[in-house]
Amino acid sequence: MTRSAVVLILFLITVGIAGQKSEVSSVWVSDLGNGNYRNPVIYADYSDPDVVRVGDDFFMTASSFNCIPGLPILHSKDLVNWKLVNYALDRQMPYDHFSQPQHGNGVWAPSIRFHKGEYYIYYGDPDFGIYMLKTKNPLGKWSKPVLVKEGKGLIDPCPLWDDDGKAFLVHAYAGSRAGIKSILVVAEMSSCGTYLLEEGVMVFDGHNGNETVEGPKFYKKDGFYYILAPAGGVTYGWQLALRSKSPYGPYEHKTVMHQGATNINGPHQGAWVELKSGEHWFVHFQDKGAYGRVVHLNPMIWSNGWPIIGIDREGKGTGEPVTEYKKPNVGKVYPIVTPPDSDEFISQWLGLQWQWHANPKNTWAFTNVAQQRLRLFTGLIPDDAKNYWGVPNLLMQKFPAPEFKVTTRMQFTPNERLVNERAGLIVMGMDYALIAIEKREDGLYVVVYECINAMGGSQETEVYTIPFKGKTIDFQAEISKNAQYWFSYQVDGGDVIKIERLFTAKEGRWIGAKIGLFATRKSQTNDSGYADFEWFRLSRF
C-alpha cells in the first residue's frame, strides 16, 4: 500500500467518513439530474471561494474568519457537486488571541494553488499579516501556517509561479487596518513561497471608478499576466479583469461580469478554472445577507484576449450570471454529492459541517459511539461576555438552503449544585434567538430568549418560560425563505408546542447566520453539567 493511500485511509477514519453514511442533502441540490445545474451550486456561506484543478479533481477553499476549524477543503469532480472533505486549519494563530470569539477577524479571502507536487493556501489575517500553509495531500494534514509578510491590513493574497521559476504575490489592503484601500500590489516572492523579496509595486488604483477593488487572483495565459479582481463591494459590485505583459504592469482593465438584468447581486470574487475539455468556468459568490455568501458557477469564454464571465446578453464583452446552465464537460457523469448538514452522531468524530466560534478546548464536546450521541459539557461563559456573541463554545453550522427545518433531541443533566446552566438550540448572528432547558433555583425550565444587536452588547430578552418535567426534549427550528424562523418543542414524544413568536435571522460579522447547539454555565465548578444530543437533522418543511 502506498503512503498516500495510508494517509487517505487515516483521514477517512479521523473525520468519521468511514463510520457514517454519505447522504445527499434533502434541502438543496444543485445538480438537476438532466445534464443541467442551478445556481447556487452551494447554497451555503463559503465566502470568497477559490478553486484549483489538479488532473480530474477540483479543490475549493474559502474564507472562514473566526470559525474553527478553518479554511474548508471541498472536493468536486465536475464543479457542480461538492463534498466537504477536510479543513486546512485546525487552530488559528495566535492561539491565545483566537481562544475567544474574534468576529469578522481571522481568515480572509484565501487562494489555493498547486505547484511542484504540493498544494498551497495563502490567506490574509487583517490584524497580523499574510500566512501560507501547504500539503502534498489535501485530504491529510496541512502544515502549520508560516507568516509570509507581517503587517496590518494585508489581505487577499494570491501567488503566481512564473515560467522562469520566479514567484510573485498579489494582495490588497483593508482600509480599517492599513488606512488605505482600493489598490492592488504585486511583490516578488521567494521561490519556496515563504517570504517576500520586496515591498511591492502598486499595479492598480481603483479610486477612479473601481472603489473597493480586492480579492485578486493571479494567472498567466498566452504571454499575458491576468489579475481577476472584484470591485464595488459585495452587495452591488462587479468583476474586473486586468492584463499586462509584465507582472508589475502597466495593466489595462475591463469589466467582465456584472449583475445586469439578473437578480444575482454583486457577482464577483472567485476562481477561473480551465478544464481538460478546453472549457473555462468561473466560481464566485453572491451575498445573500443572513444566508451568507453562497457559491455560484458561471461559464467563461475568451474573446480578443479578455474573459467574458456568464452570458454576454448585450454583446459588449460583459457577462451576466446564469441561473441554470449545462454542466461542465468533464468527460463523464459523476454522482450527486453535497456538503453535509444532518448528523446522527454515530462516529467518534463530529461531522465536518461543525465549527466553533473560537479555538476550541478539548473539554467542550465528546461523541459517544456506543450510545450514538454527542455530549456537550457546559462551558463557563467569559466574565466579559454581555451575551452569546462573546461565548466561544457555540457548535454551529452554516445555513444550507433558503428554507429548511432543524430538529434535535436532547437530554439535559445539570450539576445539582449549580444554577443558570443552560443547553439547547440557537440561531446565531448579530441578532440571535435560542430555545433551551435552563436550570434555576426552583428547577428546570423550557426557555426562549432573543437578543437584538448582540454585537453591540445588548442583553437577552426572555420570550417564553415554562417548567420542564420531562426526560427528553426535541427542539425544532423552521427557517423560511426570507430568513424568518420560529421554534417549537416536544417533551417525551408528546404534543408539539409551537412558540408563537416569529424571529428574523441576522448575518454575523462577514458571515451568514448559523444554527447549532450549545451548553453553558455562569459558575465555576470541578464537574459541570452536560447535555446529550441524539441527532441533529435537517429536512424540508
Instruction: Enumerate residues 6+ apart whose C-beta is below 8 A from 161.
Output: 113, 115, 167, 191
Judge whether 168 and 218 are in contact, CB under 8 Å. Answer: yes
CB burial of 372-400 (b: ≥16 within 10 Å; e: otherwise) equals ebbbbbbbebeeebebbbbbbbbbbbbbb
| C-alpha span between 23 and 173 (Å, rounded) | 41
- What's the half-sphere exposure (Cβ side, CA atoms, 13 Å) at 414? 24
Q: Dig out the grid coordinates for 232 from the structure.
A: 464595488
Annotation says 48 is catalytic: yes
Please give the distance of CA 277 from its chain centroid, rounded to a whole number: 30
| C-alpha span between 85 and 73 (Å, rounded) | 6
Please give the full DSSP string across 344-411, using - where no structure is assigned. ---SSS--TT-BBSSSPPTTSEEEETTTTEEEEEPEEPPTT-SSGGG-S-EEEEE--SSSEEEEEEEE
Instruction: Enumerate residues 6+ apart whose C-beta is below 8 A from 286.
Output: 40, 264, 265, 266, 267, 293, 294, 296, 321
Judge whether 320 and 311 are in contact, CB under 8 Å. Answer: yes
Q: What residues does 404 pair with on adjacent strands?
A: 479
**Dihedral of CA 415/445/391/292: which sign?**
positive
Q: Dig out the grid coordinates for 518 from the structure.
A: 450549545
| C-alpha span between 151 and 330 (Å, rounded) | 42
Judge whether 264 and 11 are in contact, CB under 8 Å. Answer: no
Judge whether 82 and 44 are in contact, CB under 8 Å. Answer: no
Q: Dig out the grid coordinates for 34 from the structure.
A: 438532466
- What's the half-sphere exposure (Cβ side, CA atoms, 13 Å) at 129? 14
Please give the full DSSP string across 308-332, using - where no structure is assigned. EESB-TTSSS-BB--SEEEPP--SS
Q: Are strands 183-189 and 201-205 parallel, antiparallel or unpaired?
A: antiparallel
SS3 3: helix
Please give the distance of CA 353 from its chain centroid, rounded to a whole number: 10
Q: Which residue has the cell 483593508?
A: 174
Annotation says 45 is catalytic: no
Q: From the candidates 45, 48, 287, 450, give the one annotated as an active-site residue.
A: 48
| C-alpha span between 328 and 278 (Å, rounded) | 10
Q: From the candidates 156, 214, 450, 474, give the one annotated as an active-site residue.
A: 214
> Torsion over CA of 384, 388, 393 and 395, rounded to 10 degrees?
-170
Report, as residue numbers or ranges, the catalytic residues. Answer: 48, 214
